[in-house]
Amino acid sequence: MKRGFLYFFVFLFAFYGISAENMYEVKENVVVTANKDRVKKKDIAKNVKVITKKDIEKMGAISAIDVLKNIPGVIVSTNGGYGSLTSVYLRGASPNHTIVMIDGIEINDPMNPGRSADLSSIMASDIERIEIVMGSESAVYGSDAMAGVINIITVSDKKGLSFFFEGGSKSTTFGGINFQNKQGDLSYWFKGSFFDTDGISAADSKLEGNSEDDGYSNATVNGGLSFEKGRNKFLASIIYINSDSDLDAMGGLYGDAPEYTSDREEYYGKAEWKYSNPFGMDGYTKLGYYYTKIDRKYDNPDDSLIALPLLTSNYTGEISRINFHTFVKLSERNSLSFGLETTEEKGKSYFYSESSYGPYESVFPKKSIDTNSAYLNLISKFKFFTLNLGVRYDDHDQFGSKGTFNAGVVVPLTDTLTFKLNGGTGFKAPSIYQLYDGFCGNPDLKAETSDNYEGFFEKSLMEGKLFFTIGYFYNKYKDLVYFDFTTYKYANGEEAETKGFETTFKYYGKSFSWHFGFTNISYSSDNPAYFYNRPEATINFGLSYAYNNWLFSLTSLYYDDRTGYDFWQGKEVKLDSFTVFDLKISYNLNKNTEIYLKGHNIFDEDYQYVYGYGTLGAVYYVGVKYKAF
């Protein structure tokens, strides 16, 4: 697809949207991620994207990545099929610069060299809602939020009990239970799911030496309860995920490793106490404890491979966080939130291998990093605009302190047209691995920093059925950590820049709805490898039609040409553009029972996210869902 045609397509949609009539105010939405409080989306100067349970079900998504890939401004890549390493790039930024949370619990891995999150184990069946805040959120969440925050929410206020089961291509089975209930002051929930597939070869099977499929299995349990009495509310929850993956040695020629496997265990828990209306004012105070543990094990007992030695390894990362947060509504036009936070990260690893060079052992003893933080956020409504202000101070026990800020304005131009402008700074602390690894660690590393700016318009049309946004963003990343091949140590110094524009349309009709998104990003960096696998232009499109008891949904994803790297030949390669279509058809047998068919890549597009790694061809699944209440 030519770039000129893309622009024509975008502006054709824009012309239609801007010339539409019958305008009125869009229904207000509430978000919780932008500043840790329930705030009307129309009062937030940031670009916040919300994906609902209904959106997820229409997509026919199996994993969280299946959902995120369909969101404008979100770029994904995977090193194979389900269960393989995944990366998420918010507007082209490094995965290391995005915080990912489940129910407000951070899931970034402290023992990942760049401390990024791997979402390959998060299944879509447990998700009630996803909120994505674009642009730096360091003034709210501190380190690692330079590109934004993704919050995956698994619990809602709705009561219900449902079961589902589906199966299909690649000997895939997927099933689960979702139970949420409330009795008086007590609310409780339990969710569980299992997934198993024979999968595809992680190393692209169309390349020589890659004939063996790599399977994946996942078991997830999610439970919790909350108790409310008077002005007090107590909540506790835990999520446990166990996943097993078959891996390959690498992408490209002869990447197969038939006995190479990984075993991953994840624990996410929290306990909160919330006290309403402190200081005699409308609001609340909340004290919370949040815990993350990610344990990854890799094993290859085969010593006959050229590309991979016999090896065994284990990586364990933990995050413990205590947060004291207060929100008060000072008046009808002013609200204030502030908090104190202390975080401890711990990590350790063990690696052993045997090759033609002899045995090798590396022990990374347990190391920890402490960070103490304070933050404040203000929303003030004036006659002609709403002001957003945020500041945060983080004291890191290794490199020292860092302050960040964010400021934004919301300007209603008409009843149906709003302009939003925001800007701020961000930072990312060096990871435990980058600081303390015995071979390449550098304890003198300093923080990476960023400057982020965005301006965009939001407009409702056709009596609120059509919602349109268009905007421009600019992000500058400085003092980036890189591997210095002259010293064989991590060092600071590289810079990178992303800028571009994004436009989205969403139409909600009684029986017919559609959405369209176009994002164009320009990249520049001291190191070309920084932006491998990332397209300049992406298109997201979807439509759904309901007729009697039937629902038809179609989604599509287009990625422009990208630059990748062939490690086998040691050179850059071009990754061709692609368009993938997914389909779901469902039928309600009665008010309790739904049957469905869903297909991924229904036109069997041949494509790669990362050079040398396979992707799913045309696959189909049939399933049934039963709602008891």
Nearest alpha-carbon partner for 552 in 590, 593, 582, 579? 582
The SS3 call for residue 168 is: strand
Query: What distance in Å separates the CA atoms of residue 343 and residue 228, rounded to the nearest whole number?
Result: 27
Give the span between the Cα atoms of 379 and 383, in whole angstroms.
13
**pLDDT recorded at residue 623:** 98
User: Which CATH architecture group holds 3-248+268-276+283-627?
Assistant: Beta Barrel (2.40)
Phi, psi angles (nearest 5°) of residue 75: -110, 135
Amino acid at site 434 = Q
Per-residue model confidence (pLDDT) at position 11: 39
Confidence (pLDDT) at 17: 37
| Predicted pLDDT of residue 528 | 85
Which segments of the chain have a pLDDT < 50?
Answer: 1-28
Q: What is the pLDDT of residue 13?
A: 40
Segment 66-82, tens digit of pLDDT: 999 999 999 999 999 99
CA angle 587, 593, 595 (to 5 degrees): 40
Length reported for the chain? 629
> Model's pTM, two decimal places?
0.94
Dihedral sign for Cα atoms in the order 342, 113, 251, 297: negative
**Model pLDDT for residues 484-518, shown as the tens digit of each residue:** 999 999 999 999 999 999 999 999 998 999 999 99
